[in-house]
């Protein structure tokens, strides 16, 4: 009888351990990386932005969000086990993701099936250094002398049916909305699309301003945010807005990004989207100390 009770207790203990391990395996790990301070007050507030996104993600059951601030993590193992990686940082030639062995670190995470989310300037990488990887992992990127970065009031009157748009109502924000991205030929689903003001196409030619390719699309709709389903089943999301920190106070803008992060990690987006609230005080917490703009 004693041996039977012992066996039963051992069986129960094994079942409890199995349940705990199964629950741990279901937790989606999301790593958000904020770049170093950039631009003037209220612009490119990467640290404050990822911290408020974390606050929203922390309310989602089964999600564990970790924030790394002030640039790329010094710990090479920081991305281990991540189901999604969110980059909110300066891009271009100085993009932290293309420095040292950081692309190799991302490649390992992508091989495991991690999702990739890039916000605002983080969607820009050089065509020959990061461009092929962004096409493969994110589904698109800002390419110099092809894409442009005007600041304008974008109105999103219609949204597609997609897990990322659950609970998101049409909205409008004034932002530095890049457009005319270089996109992968397949797997890309536009999430935010609208027709830009024609004046944004008519700036003089420059690496990030007007060019013949965008002028040839006069009157056409442009895609400003997109979802990407990679051939291996992993996911990516790119958002070209996010320059002005105050736009995170827009509930629909914020919900769309939170939904996208959850979706990129292959977690289930709630039927009404990720609900979060943000007071003016909370919005202005964690801003980087920056010198005021010169008049």
On whether residue 197 sits in a domain, the answer given is: yes
Among 88, 114, 117, 112, which residue's Cα sits nearest to residue 259?
117
C-alpha to C-alpha distance for 159 and 151, rounded to whole angstroms? 21
Query: Domain tally for the chain?
Result: 1
On whether residue 128 sits in a domain, the answer given is: yes
Q: Output the domain CATH number for residue 118.
A: 3.40.50.880
Q: So what's the pLDDT on residue 76?
A: 83
By the 8 A CB rule, do 219 and 245 touch? no
Among 184, 183, 216, which residue's Cα sits nearest to residue 202?
216
Residue 36 zone, left/alpha/beta (φ > 0; ψ -120 to 50; rest): beta
On whether residue 44 sits in a domain, the answer given is: yes
On whether residue 206 sits in a domain, the answer given is: yes
C-alpha to C-alpha distance for 115 and 107, rounded to whole angstroms? 11
Q: So what's the pLDDT on residue 290?
A: 85
Q: Whole domain around residue 150: which residue ranges?
A: 28-283
C-alpha to C-alpha distance for 269 and 171, rounded to whole angstroms? 20
Among 228, 204, 208, which residue's Cα sits nearest to residue 91?
208
On whether residue 12 sits in a domain, the answer given is: no
Taking the alpha carbons at both ends of the chain, their separation in whole angstroms is: 86
Among 82, 86, 88, 10, which residue's Cα sits nearest to residue 43?
88
Residue 233 zone, left/alpha/beta (φ > 0; ψ -120 to 50; rest): left
Q: So what's the pLDDT on residue 60?
A: 96
On whether residue 235 sits in a domain, the answer given is: yes
Query: Per-10-residue mean pLDDT for the chain, 295 residues long?
Result: 53 42 71 96 97 97 97 93 98 97 97 98 98 98 98 98 98 98 97 97 93 96 98 97 98 98 98 96 93 67
Q: So what's the pLDDT on residue 5?
A: 56
On whether residue 210 sits in a domain, the answer given is: yes
Q: So what's the pLDDT on residue 292?
A: 75
């Amino acid at each position: 009888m004693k041996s039977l009770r012992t066996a039963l207790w051992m069986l129960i203990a094994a079942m409890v351990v199995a349940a705990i391990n199964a629950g741990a395996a279901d937790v989606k790990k999301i790593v958000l990386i904020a770049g170093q301070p950039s631009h003037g007050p209220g612009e490119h507030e990467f640290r404050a932005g990822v911290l408020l996104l974390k606050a929203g993600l922390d309310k989602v059951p089964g999600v564990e969000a970790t924030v790394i601030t002030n640039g790329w993590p010094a710990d090479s193992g920081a991305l281990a086990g991540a189901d999604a990686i969110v980059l909110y940082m300066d891009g271009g030639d100085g993009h932290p993701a293309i420095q040292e062995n950081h692309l190799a670190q991302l490649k390992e995470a992508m091989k495991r099936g991690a999702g990739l989310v890039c916000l605002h300037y983080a969607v820009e990488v050089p065509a020959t250094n990061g461009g092929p990887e962004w096409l493969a992992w994110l589904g698109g990127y800002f390419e110099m002398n092809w894409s442009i970065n005007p600041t304008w009031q974008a109105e999103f009157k219609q949204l597609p049916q997609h897990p990322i748009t659950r609970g998101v109502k049409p909205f409008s924000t004034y932002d530095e909305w890049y457009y005319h991205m270089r996109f992968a030929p397949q797997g890309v689903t536009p999430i935010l699309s609208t027709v830009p003001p024609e004046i944004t196409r008519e700036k003089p030619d420059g690496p990030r301003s007007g060019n013949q390719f965008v002028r040839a699309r006069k009157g056409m709709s442009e895609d400003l945010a997109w979802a990407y389903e990679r051939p291996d089943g992993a996911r990516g999301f790119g958002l070209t807005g996010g320059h002005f920190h105050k736009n995170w106070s827009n509930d629909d803008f914020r919900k769309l990004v939170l939904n996208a992060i959850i979706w990129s990690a292959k977690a289930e987006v709630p039927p009404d989207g990720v609900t979060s609230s943000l007071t003016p005080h909370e919005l202005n917490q964690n801003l980087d100390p920056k010198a005021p703009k010169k008049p």
